[in-house]
């Protein structure tokens, strides 16, 4: 049964290859259906693998399928091998499951787009890369998927590349990820140098034997890679810009694939991380900064998708708080539930954008509740789930993370709770602006951009979408409600996810001050009150009026100017350096060296060409003289 693991990434990969060859001929909607079925089949393969893994116990639950020797270079041996263990199977299940729903949704959302088949090729490749990433049995295979995900995100973010902003956003995603990838690469180099292998099993078994400094360095460097892919402070700008892609892409990047890769990598390396407390603290601090900074930025965005983008960044920050404080299960738990409700929110937002003829400005929406009741309901469930209102999924998963933080450091917990309040507030603001209040879209009639879709309609008639879009939304809404069942905190036997994942994870050092069950109840109540309070404040402020400039400061709209600072400090100085190179180094130093060598050769040549007189006898004399000289030299050296 475990042998099905190979099919999980292969099916979408082959489907992508098939669509590359025949996608244009199949056209719409057949290409979309094939892609959807492929990812669905991949989900079924994940289920079969899961059942297979369930058949064994404890440490035997790690199954490695060797395919072939990929890179045999002396002592550097890399196998093409896939690993099915509780962690990778969990990832594969929710990645393929959520992606299948997003594929189905895309068939309707991308209806009428002239590059319909191409879109599904990219989606399939994206999912295949992500599955390779989570199923790889060594760091290099994970890196293969890592880069595949990176390049697919570039294709998809700049899918509508005629828009200059989309093209720029794609490039930015690629470049920021590339910068962070240096960290991942160096972590691999260091791991190979100190351990001699890139296999996870070897890394984990040798971790206790290598020096503490090296271990911390490996973990921190891998985290630098994760900072790019999982959009941590200060490398999160690209994720907000990635909203230029079609909405299903945003859902895919934010919920199922790509951004969860960094969290996955750190959890995969958790046996190493558990031995490097300094590195873990660093991760926690970056996590809390990211969570707060992004949540604050999310309170002032006016684009329906940008709010969600910053909310993803903030939620990823929470996941890293979990990773850093040793609550690895909580991080994965939050990742899975976040996949449910963030996919739900993005797909609902896509439904709104679709219904509003490509309008994304929250200030130009309002009162959609009556016209799009199902979407409004779904978005409401998403809001409740992400805010952490009991009994929705987010309450339990975020609660676990905050508990982990509390046991490490109360200040981190406090910052986390404040951020949770902000989360509930900005999602409430978004909900109120979009679905409550007055109809604002009739104030300024717009005849705008939907040039790409063939069914260009001038007037706006918001409506709920068809079943291909609504089905996934409703299914995800159910999951967002009941997702908490995966790991209920009430009794040890209800912590299903924790028992299931335990063989794959490292054992973090015991918390400094373990919380008693009474304290845990208090924390849970505080979480719930903060979530409800944040939501109520948002409702009170935003449901009547849509303009509160004092609550949307410019520096938050620009996300604390972090991107602008990076622009000024790095991009501008880089440009300056390039100009200096072009004006000074290139003409003077490099050209000077080249021309200098040419001149030397020319000088020597002009000097020597006199010898070649063309007179046979003179040249014969030179040859004879040369021979005699040579013989004499040999004779003298030989002591003759």
Min dist CB 612 to another protein, Å, is 3
525 vs 601 by CB, closer to another protein: 601
Tokens of 25: 């001929």
605 vs 639 by CB, closer to another protein: 605
Question: Please, are residues 316 and 231 in contact by the beta-carbon 8 Å criterion?
Answer: yes
Min dist CB 631 to another protein, Å, is 13
Nearest Cα to 207, choosing from 344, 143, 218, 259? 218
Min dist CB 602 to another protein, Å, is 14
The DSSP result for 101-123, as a single string, is HHHHHHHHHTTT-TTHHHHHHHH
Min dist CB 609 to another protein, Å, is 4
- Any contact of residue 529 with another protein (CB under 8 A)? no
Measured in whole angstroms, the distance separating CA 298 from the mean position of its chain's CA atoms is 19
Min dist CB 626 to another protein, Å, is 13
Binding track over 288-327 against another protein, x by CB under 8 A? ----------------------------------------
584 vs 620 by CB, closer to another protein: 620
Check residue 510 and report its DSSP letter.
Answer: P
Q: Distance (Å, rounded) from C-alpha 132 to C-alpha 143? A: 9
With both helix axes pointing from N to C terminus, report the angle between 393-408 and 467-482 in degrees, rounded to the nearest 10. Answer: 40
518 vs 616 by CB, closer to another protein: 616
Q: Distance (Å, rounded) from C-alpha 82 to C-alpha 313? A: 29
514 vs 634 by CB, closer to another protein: 634
DSSP3 helix / strand / coil % (the chain, rounded to 5):
75, 5, 20
551 vs 623 by CB, closer to another protein: 623
615 vs 640 by CB, closer to another protein: 615
614 vs 639 by CB, closer to another protein: 614
Question: Please, are residues 333 and 497 in contact by the beta-carbon 8 Å criterion?
Answer: yes
Tokens of 307: 């709010």
**153: exposed, middle or buried (C-beta count within 10 Å: 0-12, 13-18, 19+)?**
buried
Binding track over 208-237 against another protein, x by CB under 8 A? ------------------------------
Nearest Cα to 473, choosing from 307, 367, 352? 352
What is the SS3 assignment for 424? helix
Number of residues that this document lists for the chain:
640
Binding track over 593-632 against another protein, x by CB under 8 A? ----------------xxxxxxxxx--xx--x--------
Strands 76-84 and 63-73 come out as antiparallel
410 vs 628 by CB, closer to another protein: 628
Question: Please, are residues 229 and 319 in contact by the beta-carbon 8 Å criterion?
Answer: no
69 vs 613 by CB, closer to another protein: 613
Min dist CB 573 to another protein, Å, is 53
Q: Distance (Å, rounded) from C-alpha 389 to C-alpha 535? A: 9
Min dist CB 620 to another protein, Å, is 5
Q: Distance (Å, rounded) from C-alpha 236 to C-alpha 219? A: 20
Min dist CB 619 to another protein, Å, is 9
How many residues of this chain interact with another protein, rule: CB under 8 A?
12
Tokens of 37: 């079925």
Question: Please, are residues 165 and 159 in contact by the beta-carbon 8 Å criterion?
Answer: no
Min dist CB 177 to another protein, Å, is 59
Q: Distance (Å, rounded) from C-alpha 73 to C-alpha 65? A: 21
Measured in whole angstroms, the distance separating CA 461 from the mean position of its chain's CA atoms is 35
Min dist CB 607 to another protein, Å, is 12
Min dist CB 182 to another protein, Å, is 54
507 vs 630 by CB, closer to another protein: 630
Question: Please, are residues 350 and 360 in contact by the beta-carbon 8 Å criterion?
Answer: no
Residues binding another protein (CB under 8 A): 609-617, 620-621, 624
């Amino acid at each position: 049964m475990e042998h099905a693991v190979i099919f999980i990434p292969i099916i979408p990969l082959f489907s992508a290859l098939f669509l590359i060859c025949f996608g244009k001929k199949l056209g719409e909607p057949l290409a979309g259906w094939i892609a959807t079925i492929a990812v669905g089949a991949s989900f079924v393969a994940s289920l079969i693998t899961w059942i297979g893994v369930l058949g064994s116990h404890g440490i035997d639950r790690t199954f490695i399928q060797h395919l072939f020797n990929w890179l045999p270079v002396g002592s550097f041996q890399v196998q093409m091998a896939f690993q099915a263990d509780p962690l990778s199977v969990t990832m594969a299940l929710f990645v393929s499951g959520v992606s299948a729903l997003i594929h189905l949704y895309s068939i309707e959302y991308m209806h009428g787009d002239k590059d319909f088949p191409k879109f599904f090729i990219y989606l399939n490749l994206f999912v295949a890369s992500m599955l390779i990433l989570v199923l790889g049995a060594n760091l290099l295979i994970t890196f293969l998927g890592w880069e595949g995900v990176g390049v697919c995100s570039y294709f998809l973010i700049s899918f509508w590349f005629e828009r200059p902003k989309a093209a720029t956003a794609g490039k930015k995603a690629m470049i920021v990820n590339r910068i962070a990838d240096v960290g991942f690469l160096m972590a691999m180099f260091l791991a190979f140098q100190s351990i001699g292998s890139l296999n996870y099993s070897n890394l984990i078994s040798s971790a206790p034997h290598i020096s503490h400094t090296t271990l911390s360095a490996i973990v921190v460097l891998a985290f630098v890679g994760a900072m790019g892919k999982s959009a941590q402070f200060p490398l999160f700008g690209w994720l907000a810009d990635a909203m230029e892609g079609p909405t299903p892409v945003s859902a895919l990047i934010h919920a199922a694939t790509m951004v969860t890769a960094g969290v996955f990598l750190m959890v995969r390396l958790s046996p190493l991380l558990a031995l490097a407390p300094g590195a873990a603290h660093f991760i926690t601090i970056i996590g809390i900064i990211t969570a707060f900074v992004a949540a604050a930025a999310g309170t002032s965005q006016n684009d329906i998708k940008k709010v969600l983008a910053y909310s993803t960044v903030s939620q990823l920050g929470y996941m890293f708080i979990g990773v850093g404080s040793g609550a690895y299960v909580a991080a994965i738990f939050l990742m899975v539930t976040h996949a449910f409700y963030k996919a739900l929110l993005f797909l609902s937002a896509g439904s709104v954008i679709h219904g509003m003829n490509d309008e994304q400005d929250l200030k130009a929406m309002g009162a959609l509740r009556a016209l799009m009741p199902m979407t409004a309901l779904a978005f409401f469930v998403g809001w409740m789930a992400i805010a952490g209102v009991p009994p929705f999924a987010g309450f339990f998963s975020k609660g676990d993370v905050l508990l982990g933080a509390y046991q490490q450091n109360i200040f981190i917990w406090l910052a986390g709770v404040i951020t949770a309040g902000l989360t509930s507030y900005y999602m409430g603001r978004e909900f109120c602006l979009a679905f409550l209040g007055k109809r604002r879209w009739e104030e300024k009639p717009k005849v705008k951009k939907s040039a790409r879709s063939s069914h260009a309609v001038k007037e706006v008639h918001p409506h709920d979408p068809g079943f291909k879009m609504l089905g996934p939304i409703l299914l995800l809404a159910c999951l967002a409600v009941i997702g908490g069942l995966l790991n209920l905190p009430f009794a040890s036997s209800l912590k299903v996810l924790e028992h299931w994942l335990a063989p794959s994870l490292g054992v973090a050092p015991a918390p400094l001050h373990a919380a008693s069950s009474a304290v845990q109840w208090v924390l849970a109540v505080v979480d719930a009150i903060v979530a409800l309070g944040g939501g109520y404040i948002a409702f009170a402020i935003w449901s009547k009026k849509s303009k509160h400039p004092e609550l949307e400061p410019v520096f938050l709209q620009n996300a604390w100017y972090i991107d602008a600072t990076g622009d000024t400090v790095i991009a501008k100085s880089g440009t300056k350096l390039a100009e200096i190179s072009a004006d000074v180094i290139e003409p003077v130093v490099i050209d000077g060296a080249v021309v200098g060598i040419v001149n030397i050769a020319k000088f020597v040549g002009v000097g020597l060409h006199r010898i070649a007189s063309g007179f046979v006898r003179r040249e014969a004399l030179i040859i004879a003289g040369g021979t005699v000289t040579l013989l004499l030299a040999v004779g003298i050296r030989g002591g003759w």
